[in-house]
Structure 1
Amino acid sequence: MSFFKRHPTLEDDGVDADNVDPNLRLRTTLTAHSTLAESIRSELRQQRRKKSLAKSRSKFTFKRPGTAGSQKAQREEVDEHGLERTHSEQPQQPQQPQQQPGANQPPGERRTIYVNQPLPQSETKSNGDPLIRYERNKVRTSKYTVLTFIPKNLYEQFRRIANLYFLALVVLQVFPIFGAAAPEIAMVPLVVILSITAAKDGIEDYRRASLDDEVNNSAATKLSSTSWRNPNQALDPRTWFERVFGLGTAPGKVTRGVKRLRAREREVVGISRTTLDNSIDQSERGGRSLDDIQSVTTAESAVGSGKPEHSYPPMPSLMALTAGGSGSDTYASRSAPTFSTIHVSQDPGPIPKWERTLWKKLEVGDIVLLRDNDQVPADTIVLATSDADGLAYVETKNLDGETNLKLRKALKATRWISGEEDLAPGRCQFVIDSEPPHAGLYVYNGVLRYRSRSSSDGPIEDKVEPVTINEVLLRGCTLRNTNWVIGLVLFTGADTKIMLNGGATPSKRSKIERQTNFNVVMNFIVLLAMSIVSAVASGINSAQTDSSGWVYELSLGSGAGSAALNGLVTFGSCLIAFQNIVPISLYISIEIVKTIQAYFIAQDRDMYYAPLDTACGAFISS
């Protein structure tokens, strides 16, 4: 079935192919090839440099015994397109990718994504699972977890000099020689301040975690894993421990979150469909309307529940409506150009179906469907769009703050994909050779490899097409003025460009806190000077009178007559006695003031946005 609502064009670009310089296309392809080749050569040079450094260090330390065939396990191959590729019998270690201009990129690996093709033996384990495990699409911007909250929060709080100072005073008061009456009472102010600050930080981080859950549990549409196989992912990604104890999500099992999403959308779709049927004629909608996306249900569940089985989209295609025939007949009669990845004449095999799922369930190599005004769940290569020329418009204000729409386009070899039939294993196979993930928002280089005919009666040949940033939708962008986009998930989770640019959640320190630390240091210097003067005076007095107070007699015993020891005890006692010079309530007072200011900001009517019923909110106090 096809849901293609566009007028097919006979030319691949909408221009006369005779007027296009073939050398220009060749140079474009070679540019992408040369970029990837340079990236690979850079990786190999860095590997050799690491090996030479390791050998030079081993000469001065010790040599580590290794297997005789360890160097033979890794081999270099050159494919038919002139790109060197390195394969290893063991899982590869993270490599340093080529630095892109303006991108502070972390270590990463090039990746090859296979669509409807089995992975080569050099990239699989003995059980057939891929060697490489990609990042999950679940992201976390919160700083703490249940296990790390207490140690990390204490570390953050004791970065404040005042907290360290009062902790040292509490430790001093534990020793009775300094004359503290009740050390337990001295601990109360510090414990109260630490507890209040920890509660405030915990609430802020809980809000951040709630926003993460809201994003991770957002709805997405992808090809169903029960009717379509993603060869880039393991059949059962769980560890042996999770398999033994039944933890994690078993293959083919639908989680409770996905069930709730589908049930909620089924109710909403039922209401909206009734409204649409009463207001819009079916023939006016056409085959490209995406208002009725539904979850995929199996035939067994459809029979048991009495509900019809749904495949996306539920309406007939525009071609079938205009031609007066069925969607399958229309699809069989159409033809794709010779440069396309689609082989219409071949048997498609099992037709995959679309299903609704969550953002965090998406994996590298999944094929997703985006609708107008949808946010892009992961860095995605555009395969096809609703536009006849394969164009799509995105809003990138979440990435760079710009509100103007940017133009993206589908790959020429895949833009003829118009439905789930075209994505069946028997009709569409290709490979994406991608560079490593990096933080450059405006840079990407990859290559699409596929097999097709140069002419209708010619032999099948290997072909390539460059992939640039113009064919990529980045996570966080919003699709605008485009009915639908079919894309291939390229980078997920922490590998996406928006997450690489954001990095780990920093521990912010406000300007007033830094100034407060300086003031605390100055007060401590004054306190230290006063204590030193008192200690010196006490030592001199003890040396001249050759006597000491009863406190020293009880605490020091035979050492009470030492002037230096008496002065040292006096120094510690003065630190405790003069401790109020450094105010212990300074930081907690600042936190209270920030909380009150955040409340007034939230109640400010001038910062209230009526169309969305949204008020200004302070999500973090720093």
Structure 2
Amino acid sequence: MLRRRLNRLFGRDERKVDSRTIYVGHRPCPATEALIPPKFCDNRIVSSKYTVWNFLPKNLFEQFRRIANFYFLIIFLVQVIVDTPTSPVTSGLPLFFVITVTAIKQGYEDWLRHKADNEVNKYLVTVLEDGRRACKESEKIKVGDVVEVVEDETFPCDLILLQSSREDETCFVTTASLDGESNHKTHYTVPDTERNLESLSATIECEQPQPDLYKFVGRMHIYRNNQEPAVRSLGPENLLLKGATLKNTQKIYGVAVYSGMETKMALNYQGKSQKRSAVEKSINAFLLVYLCILVSKALVCTTLKYVWQNRPGQDEPWYNQKTQKEKDANLYLKMFTDFLSFMVLFNFIIPVSMYVTVEMQKFLGSFFISWDKDFFDPEIQEGALVNTSDLNEELGQVEYVFTDKTGTLTQNNMEFIECCIDGFQYKYADSGTELDGFCVTDGPVNILQQKAGREKEELFLRALCLCHTVQVKEATGQGDGVADGVEDQVDGVMGLDGETVGPADLGGFIASSPDEVALVKGAMKYGFKFLGMESKNMRVMNRNNDVETYELLHVLNFDPVRRRMSVIVRTKSGDTMLFCKGADSSIFPRVRQEEVDRIRMHVERNATEGYRTLCVAYKLLSREEYDQADTGLREAKLALQDREEKLMAVYNQVETGMSLIGATAVEDRLQEEAAETMEALQGAGMKVWVLTGDKMETAKSTCYACRLFQRSTELLELTVRTLVDLGRKREERLHELLLDYHKRAVQDAPPIKAGVTRSWSSANQDYGFIIDGATLSLVLNSSPESNSSCYKSLFLQICQNCTTVLCCRMAPLQKAQIVKMVKNCKGSPITLSIGDGANDVSMILEAHVGIGIKGREGRQAVRNSDYAIPKLKHLKKLLLGHGHLYYVRIAHLVQYFFYKNLCFILPQFLYQFFCGYSQQPLYDAAYLTMYNICFTSMPILANSLLEQHICMEVLMDNAALYRDVAKNAMLGWGPFLYWTLLGVYQGLLFFFGVRFLFSNPALQDNGQVFGNWSYGTIVFTVLVFTVTLKLAMDTRHWTWINHFVIWGSLAFYMFFSFFWGGIIWPFLRQQRLYFVFANMLSSVSAWLIIILLILLSLLPEILLLVLRKPRGPHSRQIKQRLPSSGTSTIFMLSQTASTHSFSWSD
């Protein structure tokens, strides 16, 4: 006791309470003398970040955590505190604009979250209190309340199902808002809960809140008068999740176990880790360069100022003598102050508005993906989905594509093709023939020839009808409509034309997996029909139309580790049987080995043909075996700690010594245009890795069908089969194979470069690599005495020199490990993962870019992805089209921002050499403030949204164009140096060109000379026109919006200069530009120098345009794409069938 108190006092580790106790209806159990109700959180849902009181400080704190914002805040404070040459408004106003726009955006988004929260929290719910029904707001529900929910209502919190209006004590729910699955799921009441809930006395022990939607562990103690409490296990089948909707059930009653922010829905709304694009890293690198330039400029000017002042004869004139206070000032403090002043003077070289422009470009640009009608799929009536806009440009930089097979490369649309029973092949065909020496049936079992294996055939088909979790969808209402529903379903199955329907209506069945529906339908083709469940009895109609009833005792659920599932049933004669189906690698070690050889050849042949195979086995359980299994299962289900591990141990114990009956073959057809898409990705320089949990032969056949493997491809196999060597250890054989493959694929063959298109007819040999999950574990997690790092390095080098890598028999965690390994290798290549199921979520989250397919395995992949598309074929346009354009646009935006700010500040820096380093600004404060906000911001924003340097059709037809921008080509140091030199050239030209003009003492017709502000205004005018016209020259795709913002920005600058220098002057405290702009334009010399300097500044670009030869086969197509003279350009944010969100139109 003392040690526990000391541990608690001094914070020592103590076992965390990992379960909670809940009193149903807040009624104490009979053994309780005094009830002290435990405290749980209320049922309020809070998805908002801010309140009225903390919005301002919290939002400002978050915004000033960004380096750029914090930097400009420091500059603003320096201007306020120190006597600087420019007004604090020049940096304060742009910063205020950026902070205000961001705060308004975030505040509005948070207001919407508050509004949504209130709709949920204020919703009225019916609760049982002291034997009567009462209404209360959802946010006032407490853990332990018994809640009533009626049909089509959503559950207000996580509930344990106590009572249902259905006779079979079940209810149906949809969880579309949680995982996207629209099919109905069945949940069960807790056995032995009393009908009269008002008198129910029970407690619930369950695990603490955790976010896994499909995991729940608990038990309920039900107390009766003077009896031992009955203990019932609780699992996910008893838990109704907040956000799910009640369907096909009039009403249910449930007890609240998790409320508010502890519900699984709330726990799953935690944000994903932030992914950073390569463009962001380039921006940060460029910012460091420009920050160094800024500091260097300030140091140079500060040093030269004091050197110049200390020269003989540089004393201050009599009218500007230093005061005594200035003379007594500390020299180093004065130098530091001057350094800060120069930093303020040159600070505009850092583009503060670039961050806002980039964010707006990403946000608005993401709508073009959503609006693209080429992504719309009529089957699911949905288009593309953008979950994050921060990675648009990353779509144009992908080097490695990791794809799932089932549901991604294939349709996940299963159709039963054939089966093998006791070594004989049965194929549903129109005419009987002999194939490979095995019998091929010509119809259902009831018209087969009589043979000795009749009992095995019926046993096999009964196994297909019993070993599953499929439920029959009722035809109407909740009555006994099962038979009618099955008749309709039978007609539908017998009339199949190779097509299956969507997950919401799988041929009259409700199932979590299309595989199970395909097997049940396959049994129906041969005369055995599953009729559904009645209470705990499974009903099957045999070929004689007799209904057989089997009592369902236990379901041993499927999981990816076991790769099998089983049921234990009892026949009417009292026999207890276990039926099991699963992958051959999982079933073969658990059956009699003499039975394996008859089936293995069929399984391997079907897998080679690309079919999905499952093996079926059974076991007749003795009374002792069943009692032992039943006891073990019940004890494991009641365990709160390590329930899954205990269940797994019982499963492994009972699923041994089985008899193999046969195997099934189910076809999963390729996705539409899967082969063309994979070929285009490889033509774009991307390397494709297929990561699948399927067997090697099936996956290899799919790779050939998708043209990832060609007939000329030499396959390097590293699987358990190739590691078998009776005389040596597996590690030794692994090392030998890795060295051999490394010599062939790396040392003796030239590496495959990303910029070279793969040619199947070339002299260079193409290699494909195949590895399975067990061997991958040896490579990545070798024993300490083996050289694991060497294995991993050799494996990675081999894979990087292969055109395609196939990883089969992968667990979800292994998929993520593969992606992480490639992502962190030398060069840090950009990775993309694409998948459709929950087992793909780990690799989707691990990759730089995660793509979800809106498939048939729920929406977990979609919810966790960065982008979601309906079909695999849409990946081609997403990467080769949108990705290419997004990258080019934002790369040009970033380079242009740094370039125009360098042009802006360089004359300011040069001017200090001619004003005695007095920190005299060259431009008026209004120009300093408005340059980045108004004069030059809108044209580049429009360009970064609308520019198409190559039209979408050409990008799609020429995959090699993708390689032109690969590896961050447009944001490398070479292009950055070009833009920087161009900015230096133009900045020097602006300053010294105007200075040459000012060498003439008489510039105006009246003989007057221009002053300091006229000098700066002419430089600024040339600057604004040059950088805007430079952007116009870079524009290849003109729309009316481009015309409006480019010419409109120049017109606005002219109007503002007239307005600022004339009309508004009486309202200003000081007016340094009074009539300056008008006087400047009245001078012929000023006009001449402005036009001449603009032409000279743009001369390098003009020469490049004239001298640059058209490159690539697409030049003629681009010319055809452009409109003829006289054609109006209309920008359409349309939803027509155009190839992009905007197009040319007459």
For Structure 1 versus Structure 2, the TM-score category normalised by the shorter chain is 0.5 to 0.7
Distance 1:478 1:48 in 2: 49
Is 2:112 aligned against 1:112?
Answer: no
Aligned to 2:101: 196
Larger relative contact order (CA 8 Å, sep ≥ 6) = 1
Aligned to 1:386: 165
Distance 1:358 1:114 in 2: 19
Distance 1:211 1:513 in 2: 33
Contact 2:24 2:255 in 1 (8 A): no
Quick one: which of 313, 318, 340 aligns to 1:572? 340
> Secondary structure of 2:211's match?
coil
Contact 2:24 2:145 in 1 (8 A): no
> Secondary structure of 2:297's match?
helix
> Secondary structure of 2:185's match?
strand
Aligned to 1:437: 209
> Secondary structure of 1:424's match?
helix
CA 1:585–1:567 in structure 2 vs 1: closer, same or farther (change >3 Å)?
A: same
Q: Which of the pair is proportionally richer in helix?
A: 2
Quick one: which of 39, 51, 64 aligns to 2:6? 51
CA 1:533–1:475 in structure 2 vs 1: closer, same or farther (change >3 Å)?
A: same
Contact 1:375 1:477 in 2 (8 A): yes
CA 1:380–1:183 in structure 2 vs 1: closer, same or farther (change >3 Å)?
A: same
> Secondary structure of 1:381's match?
strand
Distance 1:542 1:560 in 2: 16
TM-score where L is the length of structure 1: 0.53
Distance 2:71 2:155 in 1: 49
> Secondary structure of 2:203's match?
strand
Aligned to 1:558: 327
Structure 1 residue identity aligned to 2:221: R
Is 2:139 aligned against 1:365?
Answer: no
- Give ranges in structure 1 of 5+ residues lacking alignment: 1-43, 58-93, 99-108, 125-129, 230-350, 454-458
Aligned to 1:214: 119
Distance 1:150 1:380 in 2: 38
1:149 to partner: Cα distance: 0.4
1:488 to partner: Cα distance: 0.9
1:399 to partner: Cα distance: 3.0
Contact 1:167 1:190 in 2 (8 A): yes
Quick one: which of 58, 63, 68 aligns to 1:157? 63
Structure whose alpha-carbon radius of gyration is higher = 2
Aligned to 1:139: 45
Contact 2:25 2:146 in 1 (8 A): no
1:514 to partner: Cα distance: 6.3
Quick one: which of 480, 494, 499 aligns to 2:266? 499
1:199 to partner: Cα distance: 1.1
Aligned to 2:256: 489
Aligned to 1:304: none
Distance 1:583 1:481 in 2: 59
> Secondary structure of 1:380's match?
strand
Structure 2 residue identity aligned to 1:378: C
Q: Map of 1:398-477 to 2, 5 A cutoff?
A: 398-414=177-193, 417=195, 422-425=196-199, 428-452=200-224, 460-477=227-244
Aligned to 1:297: none
Q: Map of 1:290-301 to 2, 5 A cutoff?
A: none
Cα distance per residue 1:389-436 (max 9 Å; x no partner): 32223333333344444332111111x52xxxx1233xx322223332
Aligned to 1:32: none
Please report the RMSD computed on the Cα atoms of aligned residues, expressed in angstroms.
Answer: 4.1
Contact 1:134 1:364 in 2 (8 A): yes
Distance 1:555 1:393 in 2: 90
Quick one: which of 522, 532, 542 aligns to 2:289? 522
Aligned residues between the structures: 385
- Give ranges in structure 2 of 5+ residues lacking alignment: 391-1146
The alignment-based identity, stated in percent, is: 28
Contact 1:435 1:446 in 2 (8 A): yes
Structure 2 residue identity aligned to 1:576: V
Contact 1:116 1:429 in 2 (8 A): no
CA 1:446–1:549 in structure 2 vs 1: closer, same or farther (change >3 Å)?
A: farther
Structure 2 residue identity aligned to 1:113: Y
> Secondary structure of 2:224's match?
strand
Cα distance per residue 1:219-251 (max 9 Å; x no partner): 43332xxxx23xxxxxxxxxxxxxxxxxxxxxx
> Secondary structure of 2:234's match?
strand
Cα distance per residue 1:587-616 (max 9 Å; x no partner): 232344456447767877778999999999
Aligned to 1:343: none
TM-score where L is the length of structure 2: 0.30
> Secondary structure of 1:575's match?
helix
1:158 to partner: Cα distance: 0.8
Q: Map of 1:523-538 to 2, 5 A cutoff?
A: 523-538=290-305
Distance 1:198 1:524 in 2: 26
Contact 1:394 1:477 in 2 (8 A): yes
CA 1:554–1:593 in structure 2 vs 1: closer, same or farther (change >3 Å)?
A: farther
> Secondary structure of 1:460's match?
coil
1:154 to partner: Cα distance: 0.4
Aligned to 1:97: 17
1:143 to partner: Cα distance: 0.8
Contact 1:177 1:555 in 2 (8 A): no
Aligned to 2:247: 480
Structure 1 residue identity aligned to 2:198: A
Distance 2:150 2:11 in 1: 56
> Secondary structure of 1:214's match?
helix
Distance 1:493 1:609 in 2: 37
1:498 to partner: Cα distance: 1.9
Contact 2:148 2:251 in 1 (8 A): yes
Aligned to 1:586: 354
Cα distance per residue 1:357-391 (max 9 Å; x no partner): 43223221221222333322111001122333322
Distance 1:384 1:549 in 2: 96
> Secondary structure of 2:132's match?
coil
CA 1:556–1:547 in structure 2 vs 1: closer, same or farther (change >3 Å)?
A: farther
Distance 2:251 2:266 in 1: 25
Distance 1:138 1:518 in 2: 44
Structure 2 residue identity aligned to 1:97: V
> Secondary structure of 2:152's match?
coil
CA 1:569–1:431 in structure 2 vs 1: closer, same or farther (change >3 Å)?
A: closer
> Secondary structure of 1:395's match?
strand
Q: Map of 1:217-296 to 2, 5 A cutoff?
A: 217-223=122-128, 228-229=129-130
Contact 1:542 1:566 in 2 (8 A): no
Contact 2:212 2:264 in 1 (8 A): yes
> Secondary structure of 1:97's match?
coil
Distance 1:509 1:555 in 2: 58
CA 1:608–1:620 in structure 2 vs 1: closer, same or farther (change >3 Å)?
A: same
Aligned to 1:174: 80
Distance 2:121 2:377 in 1: 26
CA 1:209–1:555 in structure 2 vs 1: closer, same or farther (change >3 Å)?
A: farther
CA 1:449–1:53 in structure 2 vs 1: closer, same or farther (change >3 Å)?
A: closer
Aligned to 1:40: none
CA 1:519–1:150 in structure 2 vs 1: closer, same or farther (change >3 Å)?
A: farther
> Secondary structure of 1:190's match?
helix
Contact 1:552 1:560 in 2 (8 A): no
